[in-house]
Amino acid sequence: MISKARLSITAALSALAMIIPATAQNAKTQLNPVVVLDTTMGAIKVELFPSKAPITTKNFLNYVNLGFYNGTIVHRVDFVIGMGGYTENMMGRPTLPAIKNESKNGLKNLRGTLAMARYGDPDSATSQFFINLKDNAHLDPEGAEYGYAVFGKIIEGMDVADKIAGVKTGTKGQFSNIPLQTILVKSASISTK
């Protein structure tokens, strides 16, 4: 009787030992979400980092799924490309509530990364984001101070970002460093590939 019980337990543990590594392997190979920003200057494909910036990633994907970014403009080009808030007529769209700042997640504002734009209040980011055109260490958190939360990076289309960076900019209404030619985000969608 005892030997049968031992055999059953041993068999169950062996089966469990085979399942756990397979599950761990599946978790490792699960891909990060990828979003395609299709602009009038070309497509930019970005990988998001939900394990490092879960709140920010969820927020960004909510806007993508709502179609919020479709028809918005690039409204800033200097050391970053700012986008995600204004339409062609320079009007802001109503946004979802602001989110908690996740800038202390270990990700740096390096060239090609995406980070959330915000006001002076660290927890004021809503829909606007930017692409870093160079390494911007001054946007990273320092000590007790919050920075700008990085949540993704360009995996294809940095040449498109560089093309956008090369356009002539000026002042239009309340905006300075705005492209003088309109650059639209035609669509933002989650990639299935």
Grouping H, G, I as helix, E, B as strand and the rest as coil, residue 143 is coil
How far are the Cα atoms of 3, 75, 180 from residue 99, in angstroms, in the given order?
Answer: 58, 21, 31
Q: What is the CA radius of gyration of the chain?
A: 22
Q: Residue 14 has what pLDDT?
A: 45
The full length of the chain comes to 193
What's the pTM? Answer: 0.84
Rounded to whole angstroms, the maximal C-alpha distance in the chain is 86
Could you report the per-residue pLDDT of 167-191, keeping only the tens digit for each? 999 999 889 999 999 999 999 999 9
CB of 61 within 8 A of CB of 33? Answer: yes
Quote the mean pLDDT of the chain. 88
Could you report the per-residue pLDDT of 93-119, keeping only the tens digit for each? 999 999 999 999 999 999 999 999 999
